[in-house]
Amino acid sequence: MDNSKKAAGMSISEADFRRLVSFVQSKYGIDLREKKQLITSRLSNTVKGMGFTSFTQYVDYLLKQGTGDDINALLSRLTTNYTYFMREVESFDYFYSTILPELVRAHQRDKSLSIWSAGCSSGEEPYNVSMYIMDYLGSQASQWDTRLLATDLSVEALNKARRGLYQLPDTIPAGWKKNYFVAAQGGQYTVAPKIKNNVLFRQFNLMDSIQFRRKFDLIFCRNVMIYFDQPTKDALVRRFYDATVPGGYLIISKAENLPPDTPYKRVATSIFRKK
């Protein structure tokens, strides 16, 4: 008897595994071909909790009538939302010392920046960027539109981001803790309104075409493309390129790279510029 038919153990047959992998890959770009073990270990409880006794039933259901909530539950089990403040701080340093002064000069007239944190998870990255901007602009900040777009696929992560409640790491500068956070219960901190109001969180699947109102001066997309297969990554980087103003930037993570034939010019580790 096919093991996938049994409730106990919740193994997945090769056919169901392939159906699930190709569904997730085509819709969300996430490459699960090497993740069979992860699927059974992370999804078995979800499958049982939904009242199914096999992965076959679950995959049938998901492909034919899965709702947005079912998909969200699936993706939040299979992707990692791991993120933290001051992650890969060298990129933030470059942003603060080189990119931001350039953008502020270029936007002296319209006083409006256009920055996107793509795959923002629970919000630490865009809030962090916002803190650098506030520091840089100082008392001038109120004259600028410094709102950032921050998107993710995961509704759970976005809810956490909107709440803005964190256990802060020691790497957060003491001055920021004081200026940009409000102490909450249990040693946690909430992001202060002047930073929170500066980040617009939206759900967005990076597999979709990019049709935001403006082109971006800078896109952060760090530790997201690691989940994607090469053609998906290449296509996304091309869409980022098209959605960026000439001379605009793309920041990825140290764990990632762009294809050698990318039209972007590398200007620093993990930092690329549109020609």
Ligand X SMILES: C[S@@+](CC[C@H](N)C(=O)[O-])C[C@H]1O[C@@H](n2cnc3c(N)ncnc32)[C@H](O)[C@@H]1O
Residues interacting with ligand X, by CB under 6 A?
A: 28-30, 79-83, 87, 119-121, 125, 152-154, 157, 205-207, 222-224, 227, 253
Q: Closest approach of Cβ 27 to ligand X, in Å?
A: 8
Backbone angles phi, psi at 144, to 5 degrees: -110, 150
Q: Closest approach of Cβ 96 to ligand X, in Å?
A: 17
SS3 187: helix
Closer residue to ligand X, CB minimum distance, 112 or 205: 205
Task: Report whether 169 contacts 128 (CB < 8 A).
Answer: no
Q: Closest approach of Cβ 245 to ligand X, in Å?
A: 21
Distance CA 86, CA 84 (A): 7
Closer residue to ligand X, CB minimum distance, 71 or 206: 206
Closer residue to ligand X, CB minimum distance, 101 or 231: 231
Distance CA 179, CA 244 (A): 32
Closer residue to ligand X, CB minimum distance, 10 or 43: 43
Task: Report whether 146 contacts 111 (CB < 8 A).
Answer: no
3-state helix, strand, coil split of the chain in percent (to 5) is 50, 15, 35
Q: Closest approach of Cβ 37 to ligand X, in Å?
A: 19
